[in-house]
Amino acid sequence: MNDEDGGNVSMFSTVKKKLTPSRMNVSRLVYSIFIVSGFLIAIILRGRAFGLINTEKCSEALDRFGTSCQGKYFVYRISASLVVFFTILAFLSSRLFCVGDRIRLYIHYKWLLLKIFLFLMLLALPILITDKVFYVYAWIALFASGVFMIIQVILLVDSAHAWQEEWRSDDQDGKTIWDYLLLVVSLLSIAASIAFIVVGYVYFGFKASCPMNITFLSVTILLCIVVVVGSIVANKGILPGSIVCCYCAYLCWSALMSSPGSDCNKFFIDSEGQNSTASNVVTTVIGLLIACASLIRTAVSTGGGFSKFFSLKKRVDGQEEDYLLKEQGEEDDGKEENREECSQANSSYVVFVFMSFYLAMVLCNWEIEQTHVREFETDRSVTAVWVKIVCQWLTVIVFGWTLIAPKILKNRDFN
What is the pLDDT tens value at each position of the chain, 415 positions in all?
Answer: 555 555 555 555 555 555 555 677 777 778 888 888 888 888 777 766 555 555 566 666 566 666 666 667 888 888 999 999 999 888 888 777 777 777 877 777 888 888 899 999 998 888 778 878 888 888 999 889 888 888 888 888 888 887 777 777 655 555 567 777 888 888 999 999 999 999 888 888 777 778 888 899 999 999 999 999 998 888 888 888 999 999 999 889 888 888 876 677 776 655 444 444 444 444 445 555 555 565 566 655 655 555 555 554 544 444 444 444 444 454 555 677 777 777 777 788 888 888 889 888 888 877 776 555 555 556 677 888 888 999 999 999 999 988 888 788 766 665 5
Say what the pLDDT of residue 279 is. Answer: 41
Q: Which of 93, 101, 99 is nearest to 338 (CA)?
A: 101
Tell me the pTM: 0.74
Say what the pLDDT of residue 396 is. Answer: 93
Give me the residue spans of the domains in the chain. 21-408
Rg (CA), the chain: 24
